[in-house]
Amino acid sequence: MEIIKSGKENNALVVKVSGRMDAVTAPEFEKTVNSWIDEGEKCFVVDLSSLEYISSAGLRSILVIAKKLKAINGKILLAAMEESVNEVFEISGFNSIIPIHDTVNAAILKA
């Protein structure tokens, strides 16, 4: 898994996560985003167009971050998921608790 900051738009930090978010790599996602929250970031747009795989450990990390941001009036928006990742969100009902947008630009507009 790779996680990179690609810039700030409309007050949201846009980050791109690629590769696999599994039980081994998900804690790293959580840790990295937490460090940005500690630096004062409150709104994140996550570009998932290059994320190939997510397991419940990845969903768990996203939920932990979403809960934390909600408590400080922040938010996390996900964008551009590929089909198999989207399927995992749908099966688990996460598509109804985390905002998901078709494109990064659409997510930025809602940030």
Partner 1 sequence: MSSMKLPAKMENMELLIQFISDKAGKLGFSGKRVKEIELAAEEALVNIIHYAYPDLQGDIVVSCMQHPSNQFVIDIEDTGIAFNMLSLKDPDISASISDREIGGLGVFLIRKLMDDVHYHRDNEKNVLRLIVHMPQPEKTGKT
Distance, in Å, from the CA atom of 1 to the CA atom of 10, rounded to the nearest integer, reads 26
Shortest distance (Å) from residue 13 CB to partner 1: 20
Distance, in Å, from the CA atom of 44 to the CA atom of 9, rounded to the nearest integer, reads 10
46: which 2 tokens?
């996550």
Given the complex with partner 1, which of 35 and 84 has the nearer CB atom? 84
Given the complex with partner 1, which of 5 and 67 has the nearer CB atom? 67
Binding residues for partner 1, rule: CB under 8 A, are 22-24, 52-53, 55-57, 59-60, 63-64, 66-67, 70, 83-84, 88, 91-93, 96-98
Distance, in Å, from the CA atom of 70 to the CA atom of 109, rounded to the nearest integer, reads 19
Distance, in Å, from the CA atom of 109 to the CA atom of 111, rounded to the nearest integer, reads 6
Given the complex with partner 1, which of 9 and 63 has the nearer CB atom? 63
Shortest distance (Å) from residue 59 CB to partner 1: 6
Given the complex with partner 1, which of 4 and 23 has the nearer CB atom? 23
Shortest distance (Å) from residue 40 CB to partner 1: 22
Phi, psi (deg, nearest 5) at residue 39: -80, -5
